[in-house]
Amino acid sequence: MIYFFFNQMKYNGYCNFNDIKREWGKLWVGKRRRKDLLIPVENKVRLWHRKRERDGLDVLFRLHKSFSEDNADIVAVNMPFNVAITKDVNLTGRWPLIRVMNNKTELIDFRHKDEIGSTESDIILTAISYAFRNQFNSTEDKLCIYDLDKGKLITTTRSSKDYSILKDTIDDFTVLIKTGRFIRVMSKQCDKCTYSFLCKGVSK
């Protein structure tokens, strides 16, 4: 839905919120039959369904309010990139949004609040910035995360040190893949994992 909105803005110059709601309805309802949707309101599944629907529309309303009238020139939406980062490894991914606002180039990623950690050390933002600078031989003016829950832009920057950390991290993972090793990171999901016995060093 985020990409639908920005593609509408890119090609039409506007996106009516009613268009967003119609597209949201297509995606949310999908191929469900009428009888599948007509669940008694007291049913917990129905209540969960309605809450998700309401929360999703709230996010889209904030997105529309934030971006629909800012007159930015949208350069790319969900655009793939593929750039060399080491001799043997290419960095691939997508730029969620590249736009020019007041002659300033902005790279924007979109996250929910529970997906936002430290913007200064966020490696995905580093990768987005690195790929942009290498593919376009240019430097972005703003690197941002848009908080979908608050409807706010969080701006950060990247330096040569950040790109060195990115390359070192990728080098480390390349070694791990080639040697068939992995890093143990324990979490609350471990008890649900079929292979947790490998991490714990015991036989099954």
Whole-number Å distance between alpha carbons of 11 and 134: 27
Number of domains in the chain: 2
Same domain, 113 and 47: no
For residue 30, what are the domain limits?
2-67
Q: Is residue 20 part of a domain?
A: yes
Give the per-residue pLDDT at 38: 56
Does 106 share its domain with 160?
Answer: yes
Residue 148 lies inside a defined structural domain of this protein = yes
Residue ending a domain, choose from 25, 48, 67: 67
Both 79 and 163 in one domain: the answer is yes
Closest C-alpha among 140, 61, 65 to residue 95: 140
**Measured on CA atoms in the order 89, 106, 59, 22, is the torsion positive or negative?**
negative
Q: What percent of the chain stands above pLDDT 70?
A: 86
Q: Does residue 132 sit within a domain? A: yes
Answer yes or no: is 122 within a domain: yes
Strand order in the sheet with 90-101: 73-84, 90-101, 104-111, 142-147, 152-156
Confidence band of 204 (pLDDT split at 50, 70, 90): very low
72-112 tens-digit pLDDT: 999 999 999 999 988 888 999 999 999 999 999 999 999 99
Does residue 82 lie in a domain region? yes
Examine residue 190 and state whether it is found in any structural domain, yes or no: no
| In the predicted structure, residue 67 carries a pLDDT above the cut 90 | yes
Supply φ then ψ for residue 180, to 5 degrees.
70, 25
Question: What is the rounded average pLDDT of the residues 34-60?
Answer: 69
Q: Is residue 189 part of a domain?
A: no
Residues 40 and 122 in one domain: no
Supply the CATH number for residue 135's domain. 3.90.320.10
The last residue of one of the domains, among 67, 84, 100, is: 67
Categorize the per-residue pLDDT at 197 as very low, low, confident or very high, splitting at 50, 70 and 90. confident
Do 44 and 96 fall within a single domain?
Answer: no
Instruction: Reduce the DSSP state of residue 97 to 3 states and report it.
Output: strand
The verdict on residue 174 lying in a domain is: no
